[in-house]
Structure 1
Amino acid sequence: MEDINFLAYAEQAVDYGVMGVLILMSIVTLWLFIERMMFYKSVRIDDYDHRDNLEMDLTDNISVISAIGSNAPYVGLLGTVLGIMITFYTLGDAGAVDAKKIMIGLALALKATAMGLVVAIPSIIFYTISLRKIERILTKFDVQNGKM
C-alpha cells in the first residue's frame, strides 16, 4: 500500500513539479522578452554619455533568457528520467511485463522532454533577437558619437 502512495506522489511530482517549472520558465522568458523589446523601442541613445552604461541597460536580464533556453531541455530530461524510473518501478512491482503499460509510461515520460524543448527553442530565438537589437542600438550609438 505504501508503494502505491509513493508512486502516486512520484507521478504527481513529475507532472506538476517538472511541468510547473517548465511553464514558469516559459512565462518568465516571454515576460522578459516583451519587457526588453519595449525597452529597446523606448531607449534614447542621446541620454547616454558612455557606451558602457548604455550596454549595461540594454543587456539587463538577457542572461536569464539565455539560462532558461539552455537549461529547459535538462529540466525536461529530468522529468523524462523520473517518468521512466516510475514506469520501470511500477512494472517491477507488478511482476509482469505488459507492453501496453510500458508504452503508455514511456510516452508520458517523454512529454517532459518535449515540453523542455518547447520552452528552450523560443527562449534561444528570443535571446538571439535581443542580441541583434542590442548590436544595432550600440552601433547607432557608436556612429552617432563618431567612434566607427
Structure 2
Amino acid sequence: MNGQTRLPLEGITVIEVGRFISAPWAAQLLADFGADVIKIEHPVGGDLMRMSGPHLLDAEGNKTQESAYYLSTNRNKRSVALDYTRPEGREVLLQRIGRADVLLENARPGSLTKHGLDDTIVAGANRQPSGARSRGSGSPGRAGIWRDSTPPSRLSRA
C-alpha cells in the first residue's frame, strides 16, 4: 500500500441530495472517512446555505460570499449543479444514483416524489442501493405536529 493508510470508505460513492445540517453533515463525515461524496446542488445559487451567515471576512475585514456554515459542513466533497425538477436533470440524477453505492437525502417529505424520484424509481436505478434519509419533520403518513413542515433538522432541535 506504498506506506499510505487507506481510509475505510475509499471506493464508496455517495450521492447527497441534502440541505441544512443533517444530510450535509452526515455526508461530510462519510467523505472524511474516504467516501467520494457528490453533492447535488441547484444550478441557480447552489445550496441555500452558501448564502447563510456568518460569512468569512477577507484580509481587509470585509464580508465575503463564503459562508462559514456551508464550508463547515461540505469539506471533502465534489459538487454538481443539477436541476432534478426538470426531466433531463432527473435522468442525470438517476444515472448518478445508478453508479453510486449510497444515496443520502433529507428533502421535505414528498418533495422528491413530486419530481418523479420516489423510492421505487430510485431503487430501480440502482439494484443494490444503500440509502439514508434524515427527517426533521417525520415521514408521510406518520402523525406529528411537524409532519408537513420544513424544520432545520433533528440535530438543531436536540
TM-score, length-normalised on structure 2? 0.23
Q: Relative to total residues, which structure has the larger strand share, 1 or 2?
A: 2
Which structure dedicates a bigger proportion of its chain to helix? Answer: 1
Q: Compare CA radii of gyration and give the structure with the larger one.
A: 1
